[in-house]
Chains A and B, each alone.
Chain A
C-alpha cells in the first residue's frame, strides 16, 4: 500500500527534483503551502496517500519585495503577513482585501495567494484581484523558470498550467502607475466563511483630470476559471469612471460570464450580481485614486 510522506526541501532544485522524481515514477506528490485547502481535502474527499512537498522553507517563497519596479510576493506568504504590510496595503489595497476575505483569522495565518491560485477554484477570491493588478505567476521547474500571466494560469475547475515537476515560486506585479488603485468585491449570502457566488476585481488608472487611462477587470465564480474581461476595462478607459461607464463595464462582465446554477446561486442571479460587483468595485477603485488626490 502507498504511504504518506512529507518533505520540506531547502532549495528550489531539491523541490523540483522531488516533484520530478515522483512524476517520473508515477507516484503522487503534492505541494503544500498553508494547507488550508490541501489538508481539508486530505481529510475529506481525497485521502489517497501521497508525498507532501512543503515549500515553506524556501527563501524565494518567503520573500516580499515591495520596493522595486516590480512587486514580488512569495508563494509561502500568509494572508496575515500581507495584511500587516503597510506598503502593500497602500499599493494594492484591493488585492489585500481579497486575501483578507479568505476564511477567518486562523485561516489567514496560513492561507497564501499562491495556494489560492494553485487550488484553481473558479471562486478563488484573490485570482480576480491578481488579474486586475496584472499579476504574473513565477514558476520554477525542471526547465528553469517561466512566467505566466495570472489570467492564463487556470485551465479549468481545479486545473492549471503547472507541468510535472513545476511549482509556483511567487507572484509578480508591476508597480502600480501613479493614479492607480484597485478594489475587489465578492458576493456571499453571509458576512464571512463562505464561497463567492460571484467576485470582481477592478484596477483603474486616472490622469490628473480624473480620466481613466488604463483599467483591468477580473471576475470569478461565473465561469470554469476566473476571467479577465478586456471589454469591461475598455468601457472604463477614456471615461471619468462615471455611472454610465461603470454600468457598461458591469454589462461587459455579465456578457463575459458563463455561470452555472447550483446550490450557491442561479445563472440569472450570478449574471446580474457579477455586473453589480464590477460596477461597485470600479467605483471604489476610482474613489481611492481621487481620495489620494490622483
Chain B
C-alpha cells in the first residue's frame, strides 16, 4: 500500500519546469505561432439566435484583394460520424455543425462562414462581403420553456432518448436519465421533516484567460500541421480527421502552452476551419478568437433548474432524496446532466433516492465541459437542502453530513461500491480546522457544503528516455494546465531514485509521443502519472538486466535502490553499485540507448471528496457580499506536488465563488448575450477574494502506486452552496437562485 512507502521527492514543492519561460514571456501560447506567408482567418457569425440558412455566398469575399480563401458549411463533408472522447465533446456530427453551421443557425454567434486574408483587417472587411439569407425563427432561451410542447424546435429530428417508448413527436428534450434506489415514497413517509426547493443557476463560462487560437498549414500532399491551444491534441486530431474526412496520419497536432482550459478546451472550434482555409489557399492560416467570440461561441456550462426534496429523521439520518433536473445543452445535445444525476447524492449513503435529469436544447452556445461538468449545479441544490435540514434540526452541518456520509464499501448512487474514499476524513478535518472552530465574525454568516467528483482514467502513454549523462527525459502527451510536468518529474524522480533536477518533462506532439486522451477528468496526474511510473519501471528493468550482464549475475540478483543498481540481499558478488549515470555512461557498450515505455488504459481513478466552508458578510443595503474567509478541505489521495494541489483547490474555489456571486450569461429577448466581455461577465478579481485556505487530506487511492486521486474538478463543486448557505446564515433569508448578485440579494431582503 502506498502509505508504507517512504517518499523522498513526492510531496515536496520544487519549481516547475515551465515556470521561468512563463514568467519571462518566452513560453509559446496558442496565438504565438507565426509562419512565413501566413494568412489570418476570421469567422462570420450568426446575428440571429435561431434561423434557417437560405443561402450563403462567399464569392464577394473571395473577389477581394488580399483574400485567399473563404469557406462555409457546404464546403465541409456532410456526413460526420463518431463522437469526441472526453467530457462534453459529444457527437462529432454536432461538433461539425457547431464549428460551421449547415441548414440552420442555432445561437447568436454560431459560425456560418470563414475567410483567410493577408491581414486581419482585410479578413474582417471580407466578412462583410459574404452574403447570407436567413429565415429568422423564434428562439427559445429558457430551459423550462424549451421543454414545453409548443416550444420552437431547434432540431425537428430530435426525439427524446431513454424514454420507455420512442416518442412520436420531436422535442427539445434530447434525452432523459433516471437513477433510483429503494422506494422514495416510503422514505418520505418515514421522515420527520422534509425540505424542498427549486434552484436555478444560469450559464457560466470557464473564463480561461487565453482565447482559442490555432495555426494550420497544409502542404501539397494534403498533410496538415496544426499548432493550437488544446487540452488534448490527440483528441483534436481525431476529431479533425473525422470532420474533414481524412486519415489521422495526414494530421499532425502540436499543443502550445495553454492559458487555462477548465474543460473548455477539450472541444475544438477553429482547427478544422483553419485546415480548410489553408488547403484552399495553400498558405498557413492563423485564427485567434476575440474575447467576445469566446463568450458567444465557446464553452459555457449549462444553466440549470434543479428541484430537490429531501426527508430526514430527527437524528439527521436521510430517509429519502429526490431530484428533478433540467440542463441547458445549448444548441446541440450533450449537457452534463448525466454526471449531474450521478453526483448529486454521491457523498451520501442513501437507501431511497430518485433522480431524473433532462438534456434540453436551447438557442444558446453548445455547452462544453467545465470543471466537474454538471456537478456544481446539481450538488448546489442538494447541499442547500441539507443546510436547511441542519438548520431546522439545530444540527451542525458537518455532523449532519457525517451522519449520512458515504465510506469505503458504500454503494455509490451511480452503481459501484466505493473503495477507500476520503469523505469522512474531510469532514473530520473540517471539524478540527482552526477556521471552523473560530467564531463567525460579527455580522457575517458561515456556509458549509460538500463537493465530489468521479475522476477518470482513460488512455495514456509515456516514455522515459535516459540521456548519456544519466539525466532523464519524460515525454508524454497531456497539455500541462496545472503543473503536471512538475508532478511527472516528481513521480519519475521517486520511482527512479534520482533528484528532481535531473529530470525534464515534455509534452510531445502527436507524432513524437504515444497516444494520450485529453487533459480532463482530473486524469493526468493519475493516469499519465501511472504511465510515467510504469515507463520508469520499464527503464529500471532494463537497467537491471544490463547491470546483471555487466556483473555476470542473474537479473533477479540485481535490486534497484536509491537510484542505483545494487546486488540483491544474499548475492555474493564483488561489485560496486551502479548509479543511473554509470549505467547511462555504459550504454554504448551494453546494448545501446535506453527508452522506457508504457501505454495503458488506466482503471480505478479514485473519487475525490471535499468539504468547503466560508464566512461571508452581506451589506444589507447594497447586497454586496464580501468573502471574509474560505477554507477548502479535499482528499487528494496523495499530493504529488502540494503547491499544485492547493492551486487547484484555490482556483476552483475562486471560480465557484465567482459563479455563485456574480457570473452569469445575460441574454436579451432575441437571444443576444449582453455581457460578452470580462467587464460585465463578472469573474472575481484578485482583490475580491481572501487567501483561500487549503487543507489537503490524503486517503491514498489503492489503484495508483503513489495513491494519486484527481484533484482538478472537485474544488469548484462546493463553493456554490457554501456561498448560498453563508448568505442564508448572514441574512436569515434563503435565496434559491444564483448568482447572489447585489440586485438579487437586495430584492430578496426587501421580500420580493
Contact = CB atoms under 8 A, between A and B. Distances in A.
Interface of A: 187, 189-195, 197, 262-266, 268-269, 272-273, 276
A166 B687 CA distance: 40
A189 B624 contact: yes
Contacts of A197: 742
Nearest to A261: B743
Query: Nearest 4 CB-CB pairs, A to B?
Result: A269-B743, A191-B687, A276-B621, A263-B674
A187 B675 contact: no
A246 B680 CA distance: 31
Interface in B716-752: 741-743, 746-747
Contacts of A276: 621-622
B743 A190 contact: no
B685 A193 contact: yes
Interface in B659-682: 661-662, 666, 674-675, 679-680, 682
B221 to A, nearest CB: 40
Contacts of A190: 662, 682, 684-685, 687-688
Nearest to B687: A191
Contacts of A265: 742-743
8 contacts: A187-B742, A189-B742, A190-B662, A190-B687, A191-B687, A269-B623, A272-B621, A276-B622
B662 A189 contact: yes
Nearest to B668: A263
Interface in B682-728: 682, 684-685, 687-688
Contacts, number: 51
B715 to A, nearest CB: 21
Contacts of A264: 680
A191 B746 contact: no
Given A189-B624, A190-B684, 5 more contacts: A190-B688, A191-B685, A193-B685, A194-B679, A269-B623
A272 B743 CA distance: 10
B679 A192 contact: no
B682 A269 contact: no
Taking each of A192, A193, A195, A266, which has the highest tally of chain B beta carbons within 10 Å of its own beta carbon? A193
A269 B747 contact: yes
B687 A192 contact: yes
Contacts of B623: 269
A292 B373 CA distance: 56
Contacts of A193: 679, 685
A265 B685 CA distance: 19
Given A187-B622, A263-B674, A192 B742 contact: no
Interface string B618-662: 000111100000000000000000000000000000000000011
A63 B522 CA distance: 58
A273 B750 CA distance: 13
B interface, size bucket: 20 to 34
A183 to B, nearest CB: 16
Given A194-B679, A195-B679, A263 B666 contact: yes
Interface of A, secondary structure class, is: loop
Given A269-B747, A272-B746, A273-B622, A189 B682 contact: yes
A194 B621 CA distance: 19
Contacts of B747: 266, 268-269
Contacts of A263: 666, 674-675, 680
A196 to B, nearest CB: 12
A189 B746 contact: no
Contacts of B624: 187, 189
Contact of A194 (B674, B682, B743): B682
Contact of B742 (A195, A268, A269): A269
Contacts of B621: 272-273, 276
A276 B619 CA distance: 11
A264 B675 CA distance: 9
B674 to A, nearest CB: 5
Nearest to A266: B743
Contacts of B688: 190-191
Nearest to A191: B687
A216 to B, nearest CB: 23
Nearest to A187: B622
Nearest to A272: B746
A36 to B, nearest CB: 13
A61 to B, nearest CB: 28
A263 B681 CA distance: 9
Taking each of A262, A263, A266, A268, which has the highest tally of chain B beta carbons within 10 Å of its own beta carbon? A263
Interface string B600-624: 0000000000000000000001111
Interface in B43-73: none
Nearest to B620: A276
B126 to A, nearest CB: 15
B589 to A, nearest CB: 60
Interface in B418-471: none
Contacts of A268: 747
A194 B679 CA distance: 6
Contacts of B742: 187, 189, 197, 265, 269, 273
Contacts of A272: 621, 746
Contacts of B679: 193-195
A189 B624 CA distance: 6
Given A190-B688, A264-B680, A269 B746 contact: yes
